[in-house]
Amino acid sequence: MGSNVSSTSCERKEAKARATPRAYRRCNAHRWTDTPPAESEVATDSCNFKNSNEDQSNMTIEIIRPNTNRVISFHSCSSWREYFQASKHSDKLIVIFFSASWCGFCRYMEPIVDDLATEYTDIEFHKNDIDKLFEISREFQVTVMPTFIFIKRGKEVDKVIGTNHQEIRTKIEKHRASLIH
């Protein structure tokens, strides 16, 4: 990005776009030539920044990346239980993200969880809405959202409550390492 852009947020998003495989960038202040894929195939992030060469008018940058959502959502207790029973025979680490549509902190964590799921392809990520799967959240004793439960062979091995994504990453690395070695 140009040196006249005064927002570290946009610079981080552009750096993220460059680091993301097959990422496309588009900006109405800078005319990048990358051609984005069809809109149905992408997820976008955007932010506003001020460009000192453009009379401090707001500009928008969009980072367009392939829609690689790997987070699985369950919509019924029976489908979750069926899946969970089958997962007890697998060595795969499972991260369950308990959230609610009305929870602002949960909405904040959604893109972070999506990024983690894209980064850690050997781990299964699940999103369970407590309003739809209340019985399941009660079984896991979820009382605060967001809550992240880490499961191996059908047993809870760790838990993170809140939005500390670095702690989530640390626990993923910890439990993932025991699977790799």
Distance (Å, rounded) from C-alpha 122 to C-alpha 179? 10
More confident residue, 24 or 18: 18
Provide the token pair at 134: 């209340």
Task: Report helix angle 165-180 to 104-119, nearest 10.
Answer: 30
In this predicted model, what pLDDT tens digit does every residue of 88-111 receive, in sequence order? 888 899 999 999 999 999 999 999
For the entire predicted model, the pTM comes to 0.61
| Residue 27 falls in the annotated catalytic set | no
User: CA–CA distance from 144 to each of 16, 23, 139, 167 (Å)?
Assistant: 31, 35, 14, 16
| Residue 103 falls in the annotated catalytic set | yes
Domains and CATH numbers, the chain: 8-66 (no CATH), 71-180 (3.40.30.10)
More confident residue, 48 or 99: 99
pLDDT at 90: 85
Active-site pick, 10, 47, 77, 103: 103
Active-site pick, 10, 47, 77, 106: 106
Distance (Å, rounded) from C-alpha 114 to C-alpha 172? 14
